[in-house]
Structure 1
């Protein structure tokens, strides 16, 4: 069965086309468009008209592509920015009128569950082990803990790269006070995960930590100094805490224009990457993680696994 799955996120819209059956997934096409749907949602709880237009155009284009590949099933999900917006129906109705596709607005916990299913299917070294999955998005970050391919704990916090950039990092150059406020906000939110922390620390070295989302895949590309993004080099790459912390210090000391020229970093992500890397840094500190593996398989693959008949 051929699937076309679309993820409408806070920062971007993504498409995955793949053939799937009980034996697994064969990827055919992947696409991404930065639409920044979540601009201003943290403050106003409202989607801006121009952001809605950009997103509708991106989704319409992806639906056309999916149909050109003769997909048997097209599925679209909306995450953090859509969840939070009081006027989400404007977006959902416009997408339905233009494409005939209904968007399923999923909860943060459902998002975490899909990421777990995607990672479990994509990183074979995780099979049968205790896994902590960290999914850093534009509006929220999801945490999922599982043992032997079964989910035991899942959480969603409203800390994301776009949301926190708008709160603290609106200038081209960041001063220490802004970085300190950003750090404290993340630390305060992570305290809500004290139960999960106890579980993780009790497992010690038996835990496999895996990160998904644009922040961590960008970090893997930056750490390898990739001129051209290579998913095969990014998938399963291991980032140490030392390297994450070092890259954070380098990026936070640059201007936005300088970050746009960093190898491995998409220019469209240059303004939000520091907030994203700060989230990861604080997560690794909180859970005392020495390293984290990077997964290219995430909630889109999880969505396909969930819908295989």
Structure 2
């Protein structure tokens, strides 16, 4: 079954502008989202989703109340939600393997959804802008196409992507919204940024930078965050990159150098230093080849617990 907007089948391929012209409420909802002020979301009750990660949970979760992700420039943040039981999946897609990632998103959500109950699947797409390399446009089209190929009916509710998420300044283009969050209990989607992106931010970033695929990081049944075990080859020419100045790192390791936030280069540099320190993660990071497990404590913050089988 295909992708729907306002009960009508989406006819693909179409440009963003053509889709919005045929469905004006999409542009109105995008305008409302763009007009929001950015909320700072603290770590209490938050599950932060990094690039090439997904997390799925439901209102029954006693630990997680907010799913969030940011730093999306050409990337897109995707939220898929079942309106019947409130099961919600968030992921941060960069276009590396959209054809594989969308079925993974669907299957992860279905693991918490009983499709015999009332409700429907709704998808929200946010991110990208009119970048020079048109990476945003390519990713938007990939996501629309892959969701349209799924067996289930999926209703597109939020479409704040590429030109609908673009602003121009001094003839340069920038994304308006780079981060969003969803309240699992109320289904409210809002603009957000996250001072705290842990746990194990550098380790998770290292996996993504070395080309790791999209993975599910959260087990809603046990309310535990699973990190690893991860494996990667030594990052090529890591010493060379660490010797480069900030401008070189920005221009060579970003898909959209002008649009990156101020912390992009420090974050890349710290991730490269992490990869230099751990060229082969193995037992040095994952004793006994076991995942690192985290669970929210009574204060709503992540706390490391023992690895499975230990």
Compute the TM-score of the two structures, normalised by the length of structure 2.
Answer: 0.34
More helix by share: 1
Larger radius of gyration: 2
TM-score by length of 1: 0.34
